[in-house]
Structure 1
Amino acid sequence: MSDKRIGIDWRSESLAAQALGRIDAGTGAISPPIHMSSTFRRSPDYAPERTYIRDENPAFDQAEALLAELEGGEAAMLFASGMAAASAVFMSLKPGDHVLAPTLMYWSLRNWLTGYAREWGLEVDLVDMTDLAAVRDGLKPGRTRLVWIETPGNPLWSVTDIAAVAALAHEAGARLAVDSTVATPVFTRPLALGADLVMHSATKYLNGHSDLCAGALVTRAVDSEWSRLRLVRASLGGIIGSLEAWLLLRGMRTLFPRVRQQAATALDLAQRLAAHPAVASVLYPGLPDFPGHAVAGRQMAGGFGGMLSIRVRGGRDAALAVAASVSLWQRATSLGGTESLIEHRASIEGKDSPVPGDLLRLSVGLEHADDLYVDLDRALRGI
């Protein structure tokens, strides 16, 4: 965003820290007010304006504007959860439309796509999105309406080439949507690489404090597809609350220093754990020998994110023993908060999970890197 008065384009860090620098006109408050009203008074002639909280909540305005600015998009929408945001994208399509999604992705959305979405009438195919030949072969020109990718992909942190997949999708007449929850706009801006939509589970890094559930979409263009998405949100009612929107905006103010510190610590831990005798392998895009490192280096500017996974020597039982033995790391689901979390992902996803049983997913928080390593090292040496 530029300040035309003095001819300066403010950087994203500055815009986030000041939440676009908006000041409440009535009070001069730097922190925005919390709008709790569920309905809004109409003018005598009923001119188009705000009507109802499910359609246009003023509590959303600043958070949506900031997120759109950070992603370089034309507009953004908040939702009640990441799943609400993601499912809205697919529900804006029509029965019979073909969609392409990753074989390995966020488990809840994968289950939704292979269950409800297919029952509803979408034709869903899953492919390895890191294999461009598989993506090309999976596309059905004229029938594929949407390609969905997640990069880095949970929980193996596989990296998909956004620009390359965008070119393939557009050539086939499809739109590209990117789940960029882990990368965040701090490291990747998918719209600049050719994507049409960006999705965030805002519960995670955007908020960053493990105290709300939210989702968000950002669009490259305000077009008929975006209008249809707005209608889906209003019709299904998957909206975030006013207090949660305020908390999300507060969280985004510290997005850049939080995420950069988490990524720096994650890289440090990944490098140390790669040499640990009890660790079979470390999955982290920042390691030079990681399969997606070169692509990540092109599209992740300044860091590789705060998520990594380790595969423990000794298999499933050993991995579970490590998770049971940590003290500073918290055994909990989710990611992106200030506290570091460890999770045996296969146990969470159940018997049909494709995740290896020896894998532990690590969400790096803001604790000292040495403390986090010492805690893991003690647990790993105890197996």
Structure 2
Amino acid sequence: MRDSNSPSGFATRAIHHGYDPLDHGGSLAPPVHMTSTFVFGSADQGGAIFAGEAPGHVYSRISNPTLDLLEQRMASLEGAEAGLATGSGIGAITASLWTILQPGDEIIVDETLYGCTFSFLHHGLEKFGVIVTHCDLTEPDTLRRAISNRTKVVYFETPANPNMRLVDIDAIAKIAKSADALVMVDNTYATPVLTRPIERGADLVVHSATKYLGGHGDLVGGIVVGCKELIDEIRLYGLKDMTGAVMAPMTAMLILRGLKTLELRMERHCSSAQTVAEALASHPAVASVLYPGLSSFAQRELADLQMTTEAGPAYGGMIALELHGGIEAGKALIDGLSMIHCAVSLGDAETLIQHPASMTHSPYTPEERIRHGISDGLVRLSVGLEAVDDIIADLIVSLDALSAPSLLAAAE
């Protein structure tokens, strides 16, 4: 057998890692194992596999050869020992945290989180005695003051959904390690093309694979990677016994296909988003554009350090913007578009736009949104793979209508 695991290039590993066609009858595409259970050659073999004393698969709620390949490949791309595929991104988060946390433990989280993550923490874990503490993790000293011996996990997104806040992974990991707390990072926005949190001290990295990893808006899935010992615990407890958040083999195949073009797609997402952000920043209807690649972005220096490809810094495909006129202007912008679709999710070939306060972050109360930096007027844009001139043209037509003197006067 040829060694398909030795190349180090990101795109090479995304295409080849863990699979040799000659081991599968020459099939270039990995086979999809559509089976619920697996047959043992003997009772002794079955017992040995159950006991973990022999390699093999038992039941697809626990493991499956197609998912195993995806898990190996994602672990390689993130620089981790092992990976686990789940039925959704929130499945990866919940399976992990149910495994790690017990009543009385504390999880410290950033001020800004995806709405369903926020809901799981406050409407789920808190009911079972887990202490959820929010800190401004963009300022590491706030963590230093808050962390204690009851803190088991420090959790954040970078960039954060939806307002693009960045967290210094190295600095937070150093503080967390001093208190023996695990660091868990949602890397959905950046993907391992741009940011690899394990290399910067994180213990676990989660993804909504629905987004950039799949990349085509046709699946729902999640990934968590980390050290093998912890991933094994999450597999056998958080996934198998607690959540049952299992990924289907066909979904794994679609994500494996998406990974083959991930680096190429991210290059286009990043370059187009940079161009769009620069075009929007000077428009009179726009109050502010939040994008790490802009010189006006408050954390640009951290973005240059932490969001890098093999070719240099790149800043992702997500943009947040505030409009003069707040929530009504945001709705008018969305309703005035023709090519760009109003839809939640992100990372697809299509450019998507949505209003977080009424959609993805509606689990927050209005008071919670204000406290956590998600204004009612914020609009989130996921820049797709269309011709960038067409994306900008669609936005400008709608923005121009908003910037008519009568509308701006009404907004004031």
Q: TM-score, normalised by structure 2?
A: 0.89
Alpha-carbon distance, 1:228 to partner = 2.0
Alpha-carbon distance, 1:112 to partner = 1.2
1:282-341 deviations in Å (ceiling 9; x for gaps): 001111221111111111113111001111112211111011000111000000010000
Alpha-carbon distance, 1:145 to partner = 0.6
Residue equivalent to 1:377: 396
| Residue from 9, 12, 16 that aligns with 1:11 | 9
Residue equivalent to 2:112: 104
Alpha-carbon distance, 1:8 to partner = 6.6
Residue equivalent to 1:363: 382
Rounded Cα–Cα distance in structure 1 between residues aligned with 2:287 and 2:329: 12
Residue equivalent to 1:29: 27
- Aligned to 2:155, the other structure's residue is in SS state strand
Alpha-carbon distance, 1:176 to partner = 0.3
Structure 1 residue 170 and structure 2 residue 177: aligned? Answer: yes
Residue equivalent to 1:347: 358
- Aligned to 1:360, the other structure's residue is in SS state strand
Residue equivalent to 2:218: 211
Rounded Cα–Cα distance in structure 1 between residues aligned with 2:155 and 2:164: 16
Structure 1 residue 131 and structure 2 residue 150: aligned? Answer: no
Alpha-carbon distance, 1:21 to partner = 4.9
Residues 1:78 and 1:8: Cα distance change in structure 2 (over 3 Å): closer
Residue equivalent to 2:92: 85
Between Structure 1 and Structure 2, the one with more helix by share is 2
Residue equivalent to 2:160: 153
- Aligned to 2:121, the other structure's residue is in SS state helix
| Residue from 179, 182, 192 that aligns with 1:185 | 192
Alpha-carbon distance, 1:10 to partner = 3.2
Residue equivalent to 2:332: 321
Identity %: 38
CA contact (8 A) 1:15 1:21 kept: no
Alpha-carbon distance, 1:134 to partner = 1.1
Alpha-carbon distance, 1:226 to partner = 2.9
Residue equivalent to 1:253: 260
Residue equivalent to 1:222: 228
Structure 1 residue 52 and structure 2 residue 59: aligned? Answer: yes
- Aligned to 1:382, the other structure's residue is in SS state helix
Alpha-carbon distance, 1:131 to partner = 1.2
Rounded Cα–Cα distance in structure 1 between residues aligned with 2:325 and 2:344: 23
Alpha-carbon distance, 1:9 to partner = 3.5
| Residue from 39, 43, 65 that aligns with 2:37 | 39
Alpha-carbon distance, 1:75 to partner = 0.4
Rounded Cα–Cα distance in structure 1 between residues aligned with 2:344 and 2:85: 22
Give the letter aligned to residue 238 of structure 1.
Answer: A
Instruction: Map 1:241-280 to 2 at 5 A.
Output: 241-280=248-287
Q: Bigger shift: 15-24 or 239-248?
A: 15-24
- Would you say how many aligned residue pairs link Structure 1 and Structure 2? 377
Unaligned residue ranges in structure 1 (runs of 5+): none
CA contact (8 A) 1:151 1:182 kept: yes
CA contact (8 A) 2:225 2:231 kept: no
Give the letter aligned to residue 14 of structure 1.
Answer: T
Give the letter aligned to residue 367 of structure 1.
Answer: E
1:19-41 deviations in Å (ceiling 9; x for gaps): 55531524201101110110001
- Aligned to 2:192, the other structure's residue is in SS state helix
1:135-162 deviations in Å (ceiling 9; x for gaps): 112211x211110010000111000000
1:67-93 deviations in Å (ceiling 9; x for gaps): 011001100000000001011121112
| Residue from 123, 137, 157 that aligns with 1:115 | 123
Alpha-carbon distance, 1:103 to partner = 1.4
Rounded Cα–Cα distance in structure 2 between residues aligned with 1:13 and 1:248: 14
Q: Bigger shift: 227-236 or 70-79?
A: 227-236
Instruction: Map 1:328-343 to 2 at 5 A.
Output: 328-343=339-354
1:319-374 deviations in Å (ceiling 9; x for gaps): 11011000111000000010000111111133533421221100011011111111
Rounded Cα–Cα distance in structure 2 between residues aligned with 1:382 and 1:344: 19
Structure 1 residue 282 and structure 2 residue 289: aligned? Answer: yes
Rounded Cα–Cα distance in structure 2 between residues aligned with 1:24 and 1:54: 28
The root-mean-square deviation of aligned C-alpha atoms, in Å, is 1.6
- Aligned to 2:23, the other structure's residue is in SS state coil
Rounded Cα–Cα distance in structure 1 between residues aligned with 2:92 and 2:183: 15
Rounded Cα–Cα distance in structure 2 between residues aligned with 1:257 and 1:274: 26
- Aligned to 2:256, the other structure's residue is in SS state helix
CA contact (8 A) 2:188 2:211 kept: yes
